[in-house]
Structure 1
Amino acid sequence: MLLLHLKFLNKIVLKQIFTSIKLLSCKGKKFYHLIHQLTGYYPSDAHLYRLAFMHKSLMYKGHNGSEINNERLEYLGDAILGAIVAHELFVRYPDKNEGELTKIRSRIVNRINMNQQALRMGLGELVQTQPQTDVAQTHIPGDALEALIGAVYLDKGYKAVTRFIVDRLMNNLDDSESPIQNDTNYKSVLIEWGQKNRCEVHFVTEEYPNKPEGQNSFIAMVYVNNELAGKGFGGSKKEAQQNGACEALSMLVGVEV
């Protein structure tokens, strides 16, 4: 029994040594330092970070037939991101009510901002897809950023991922990009939400019938999976669609905008 136990320990030690050798290879060392540059931490489990950049289009399969991609890490990172941003805003703005805090949080974690932050960090060049696509025009970079958050959490823990999110995502915003100062393009946010959640979003906009003089000229009906999710009025088609998307977001995800 003791001999078997020693053999098991030797296997673990050899595996750790082998992993270290791979890390010290030219390619592994470069990736090791790249993760440190992105997150501020050297990875203990480099596999998690490599997985964070593997898009589902690669169609990789594990030994047990399960898919190998970043979707599970993205799911985890999305939840961690929302919780940490909510807590940080709660501490930073003691004078703001629940609705105001929710509005600010939604502007930080929405797909548009996450994509912008991911591209700024250079994640667009790290994501692996098949076939190779211009990921800058998709939500893929933002998804990879959420997966990266999940990887940092699993590898380094809650305190480390909190520091990463606050330092690299929240404190990194310029004044011109402040979620408190800027209004969100609600239509774009809703469309991004639909893409991520595999929901069809479409707008039906027409002139508002029998409108009083000087009142709103257009009405926009917002449909999600062919069900009415919001309605907006405005002096232009664009304004009506924005107001309709705003109402739809409030109904669908509980975001007060």
Structure 2
Amino acid sequence: MKSLLGFYPGTLHFYDIAFIHKSASTVDSHGYPVNNERLEYLGDAILGAVVADYLYNRFPHKDEGFLTQLRSRLVNRSFLTKLTFKTGLNRFVQSNTNSANETSHIYGDAFEALIGAIYLDKGYEQTKKFIVKRILTVYVDIHKLEKKDTNYKSQLIEWGQKNKKEVNFKTQDNPGTTGDKPPFVSQVLVEGELFGEGDGYSKKESQQQAAKVALMKIQD
């Protein structure tokens, strides 16, 4: 762990909790569940702030729209999950759910929880140093990511306008959602015909997944 972090952890308890998914929760002496959900919440905010600061200084002449899009590509759960596997952090995740595979948000959540743990243990500056020097510089190709358009919904709408096709999205709660099953499901209708379906942990994510499926169908 030290070789990845670049420093020796102080309060190990924070790091232990960072990798405990809620499905593997234990209970503390006061009867409260012990898992990484609170650290994930904290880490999400810290990561967003650090990445925003990094991009603001890295691209001094880019506008707000560019910075926002690039930040969203760096902090979305799918990308964070990939980072967790690239860094080898996935080996530390404790989970009792069947959905613990390479596409599961469990790993992206654990990455954010680790950021929260570092922040509590070492403070903001050390956390920023870890994210920039140990993660972004080593594992992220910013220029490649800059050129990659992952806004599938926008691409699909643009395709519809260009080809004079009506594109509609329908989003609803995912029926029977339990455990780690994504709570939202979306459908893409092109001229009233179902072209794609996707689920996600937010309405936006489910629509992006559905649009991605629709684009693959169109391109076949």
TM-score, L = length of structure 2: 0.72
The whole-number CA distance in structure 1 between the counterparts of 2:95 and 2:200 is: 28
Gap change, CA 1:161 and 1:185, over 3 Å in 2: same
- Contact 1:54–1:127 at 8 Å: present in 2 too? yes
- Counterparts of 1:83-162 in structure 2, within 5 Å, are 83-130=49-96, 134-162=100-128
User: How many angstroms does 1:198 deviate by?
Assistant: 5.7
- Counterparts of 1:147-186 in structure 2, within 5 Å, are 147-175=113-141, 178-184=144-150, 186=152
Match of 1:249 in 2: none
Amino acid at match of 1:239: L
The whole-number CA distance in structure 2 between the counterparts of 1:219 and 1:70 is: 37
Gaps of 5+ in 1: 1-33, 210-216, 243-257
Match of 1:251 in 2: none
- Counterparts of 1:229-240 in structure 2, within 5 Å, are 238-239=214-215
Gap change, CA 1:176 and 1:63, over 3 Å in 2: closer
Percent identity, aligned pairs only, is 40
Comparing both chains, which one has the higher relative contact order based on Cα–Cα distances under 8 Å and sequence gaps of 6 or more?
2
The whole-number CA distance in structure 2 between the counterparts of 1:121 and 1:223 is: 27
| Deviating more after overlay: 100-109 vs 172-181 | 172-181
2:44 to 78, 82, 96: 78
- Contact 1:53–1:70 at 8 Å: present in 2 too? yes
Superposed structure 1 runs of 4+ greater than 6 Å apart: 194-197, 217-225, 227-232
TM-score, L = length of structure 1: 0.63
User: How many angstroms does 1:132 deviate by?
Assistant: 7.0
User: How many angstroms does 1:178 deviate by?
Assistant: 2.9
Aligned residues between the structures: 191
The whole-number CA distance in structure 1 between the counterparts of 2:147 and 2:205 is: 27
Match of 1:203 in 2: 187
1:161-220 Cα distance to aligned partner (Å, 9 max, x none): 001111222212454873202122647xxx9xx998963122142x427xxxxxxx9887
Match of 1:64 in 2: 30
The whole-number CA distance in structure 2 between the counterparts of 1:114 and 1:66 is: 28
Amino acid at match of 2:106: I
Gaps of 5+ in 2: 154-170
Gap change, CA 1:130 and 1:99, over 3 Å in 2: same
